[in-house]
Amino acid sequence: MLCRNFRLTKLHRPQGLRSYSSAQNINLSDIRIVEVGPRDGLQNEKTVIPPAVKIELINRLNRTGLRHIEVGSFVSPKWVPQMAGTAEILTKMERVPGSHYPVLVPNMKGLEMLLRTLEAHPVPAGAPPLTDEIAVFTAATDAFSQANTNCTVAESLARLEGVAQKARDHGLRVRGYVSVIDTCPYAGQVDPAQVKNAAAALLGMGCYEVSLGDTTGTLNWLKTGNLLASFRDALPTHKLAMHLHDTFGQALANIATSVSFGVTTFDASVGGLGGCPYSPGATGNVATEDVLYFLQRPSLPADAPDLASVAAVGEWISQQLDRPNASRTGKALAARRERDSTAAESA
């Protein structure tokens, strides 16, 4: 049945969007994946996951070749019980030299908890530190900030400035997050200027990188391009990352658009784990397996994360959580393994 009132909308290419021929020259060695499954991926689970399971998840991820794994949060277990036990995780998990294991700290109290943990568990000379990085977060809207941290964006940034300074004084790198960069579940459509101002403030307080979070997953390729184009002259692209939820199945298209603007760092979560307790209806982060498959080329660097290994971890943690694997790539590879196994048994 034809809809007589249907009109084809003309899509205007965002200024600054590179041609596909330019984007396809970027290979996996140019892209950095920040694995957020153990932290952002698990924080919205309905049941509390034992630290031993989280430690095993991190250890398995370590063996895949992923080298930037967010391992937990120093937050009150009263508010986010799924993040309880982060100190234990830091002291018991395997650590790979050259890898980074950031932890989220929402405020000065969280940072002091981390610093006490580091002081109580010194590592031998030459051994990798328990962690060398923290992550701090704010939002693009006051409404989301109030729901998440009970303060306005301005108040949040004022608190974080001291946290960032103290962390850097103790030799810790600082990464920033800006939530709800497109649609806020409480305030609606977000003005790109609010995103730009929050990101600029985080960079100004010493964050080496700011990850822009599509918390509700409402971006598409066109809106992603328009957003990045709106502040491409105000913010250094090489210091931006994208944190994309896949609520409407648009995350990979948004990654392609972001790459065309020169963004090369992307947060992803094994098995598509995730959600947000302060964003009703938001589904998980883009799956690490899907991102790896999307970016793969015939010839990959020797140190690239191994797709099959990551997919196996996604299948394992999904089973541990008794939930469906949200990675399309992970499910496809699992089906292929099942088919090959059945064929081998029948031969």
CA distance 140 to 137: 10
Task: Give me the sign of the Cα torsion angle 44, 50, 53, 59.
Answer: positive
Nearest to 243 by CA among 73, 50, 17, 37: 37
Four-point Cα dihedral 317, 322, 325, 331, nearest 10:
90
Looking at the DSSP bridge assignments, the partners of residue 184 are: 188
Which residues are CB-neighbours of 332 under 8 A, at least 6 positions away?
none
Question: 67 and 96 in contact (C-beta within 8 Å)?
Answer: yes
**Backbone φ, ψ for residue 117 (5° rounding):** -65, -45
Amino acid sitting at position 319: Q
Report the SS3 class of residue 240. strand
Active site residues: 276
Four-point Cα dihedral 114, 116, 121, 125, nearest 10:
80
**Distances from the Cα of 36 to the Cα of 100, 220, 268, 270, 321, angstroms:** 12, 21, 6, 8, 16
Which residues are CB-neighbours of 136 under 8 A, at least 6 positions away?
104, 105, 106, 160, 163, 164, 174, 175, 176, 177, 202, 207
Question: 148 and 278 in contact (C-beta within 8 Å)?
Answer: yes
Q: Which two tokens stand for residue 258?
A: 């972001």
